[in-house]
Amino acid sequence: MLLEERGYDGTSTNRIAAAAGISPGSLYQYFANKDAILHAVVAEYTQQLLDQVTGNLASLVRSEHDVPLSAAIEAQVDAMLERPQILRVISGQLPGRTSADVLRPLRELMTETIKGYAIAPPDQSIDMDVDAATWIIVQLLGSIIRYVVEEPPIAKDVFVAEMTRFVLSSPVAWRCSARPAAVPTA
């Protein structure tokens, strides 16, 4: 990806047009400047990622079998690993928007999904603040982005196993044995 190779400042609309095989004039018919191009790319990526994760979660929830949490975590990791270069750009170089801004819809989806599991049916023997516990779990799951962006020397299966262990240690996970009433949609 051009932006990853040259960085934000080193990427011009002329270079983008050349990489796309079109004239700069043609590019300007659709985009006012490189910021508009990058925001369009990020918006498309975010929607694709949201659609993919939503689809993965929905199919796991609708499964007739108990699906391990690790399958849901692995599905999210796989979705982000499909185009890691865009996550790297979002995390480090996109002016005016942070990765938190861009990935807010995904966080909201995870929050609603986890809350759906955590509050159906409530287990009175576990005293916890569902909102606080859910926020913490979603932030923990957000480290999947760091895993994809930073590429630590940790095999994917090890990362998924350790993430699963951390999530399962939360009281939210203890209450997540029943299926939620509804699956959030994008």
- Look at the block and give the residue holding tokens 């989806």: 109
Q: What is the pLDDT of residue 158?
A: 96
- Residue 46 has what pLDDT? 81
Domains of the chain, CATH where assigned: 37-174 (1.10.357.10)
pLDDT tens, position by position, for the chain (186 residues)? 677 677 777 888 899 899 889 998 999 999 998 888 888 887 888 888 888 877 877 776 666 555 567 787 888 888 888 888 877 777 766 666 666 676 677 777 777 766 665 555 555 566 777 778 778 877 887 788 888 888 999 999 999 999 888 887 776 666 554 444 444 455
Q: Coil, strand or helix: which one is 1? A: coil
Residues 6+ apart with CB under 8 A from 126: 171, 174, 175
For 16, 17, 35, 143, 175, the CA distances from 31, given in Å and listed in that order, are 11, 11, 9, 33, 48
Identity at 117, one-letter amino acid code: Y
Q: Report pLDDT for 114.
A: 67
Q: Using CA atoms, how far apart are residues 74 and 52, in angstroms rounded to an integer?
A: 13
Tell me the whole-structure pTM to 2 decimals: 0.67
The beta-strand segments (E) located in 47-92 are none
The CA distance from 163 to 73, in Å, is: 8
Which residues are CB-contacts of 139 (< 8 A; sequence separation ≥ 6)?
none
